[in-house]
Amino acid sequence: MINVREKYLGSNDKMSFMDRIYLPAIFKGMFVTLKHMLFSKSVTTQYPEEKRVIAPRYRGRHVLKRDEQGRERCTACYCCAFICPASCIRIVAEEVTPEIQHNHPGEKYAKVFEIDLFRCIYCGFCQEACPKAAIFLEDIYELAVDSRDKFIIGKDVLVDKKGGPRKIRV
């Protein structure tokens, strides 16, 4: 017969006298904490002044990219909106008229492109799905704002300010 106590709870029975009086182990532990206190360097990052180096594949807030000529890449194909598991992307597409062709190479463009940052789970599916390499989750992580509405961000915030070669992140 298996002695249940011995098998599962038996550690107390096997304690030696030194274990039972606790003190040696206690002193050992106290020595460790004292060593930490006196000799170890703290690992704190003093946040607003110092910032952590974040990983190259970090997924922060989205950015809508521009192409080499500074035109918006997004063609309002809805791929990102479809794949989004949190359904937090809202796009209103519109036909590109000649007047705005300098800014939009395709036939369609996103008139409204909104992301609800409260619902977004930062999974990065949208950037995987985008056929135009237009949406990327960049290293922006300071997202605090002072009212709830501001967490639904539109094109004014999302679109990259400058154009230039597309930055592909691995």
Partner 1 sequence: MGEEIIIAIIKLLIFFFAMFTAAAYTTLAERKIMSYMQLRKGPNRAGPWGFLQPLADGIKFIFKEEIVPAHTDNKLFILGPLLMIAVSLMPWVAIPFGDKITIFGREVYMQLVDINTGALFMISISSLGVYGIILGGWASNNKFSLMGAVRASAQMISYELPLGLSLAAIFILSGTIGTRDIILKQIESPWQWNIFVQPLGFIIFFTSMLAETNRTPFDLAECDSELLAGYHTEYGGFKFSLFLFGEYINIITASAFMAVLYLGGWSIPFVNLHDLGLSDNLIGIISVFVVLAKTAFFVFVFIWVRWTLPRFRYDQLMDLGWKMLLPLSIVNLMITAAVVLFV
Which range binds partner 1 by CB under 8 A, 34-42, 69-77, 89-97, 149-157? 34-42
**Pick from 16, 44, 97, 147: which binds partner 1 (CB under 8 A)?**
44
Burial class (CB in 10 A: 0-12, 13-18, 19+), 46: exposed
Which among ligand SF4, partner 1, none contacts residue 153 (Cβ within 5 to 8 A by kind)?
none
Q: How many CB atoms are closer than 10 A to CB 98?
A: 6
* Residue 116 near residue 88 (C-beta atoms within 8 A): yes
Q: Is 109 strand, coil or helix?
A: strand
Q: What Å distances lie between residue 110 and 81, 87, 113, 118, 121, CA to CA?
A: 12, 17, 6, 21, 22
Q: How far is the CB of 51 from partner 1 (least distance, A)?
A: 16
Tell me if 16 contacts partner 1 by CB under 8 A: no
| Identity of the residue, 47 or 56, whose beta carbon is nearer to partner 1 in the bound complex | 47
Q: How far is the CB of 40 from partner 1 (least distance, A)?
A: 5
Please give the residue ranges that form the binding site for partner 1 (CB under 8 A): 21, 23, 26, 29-30, 32-34, 36-37, 40-44, 46
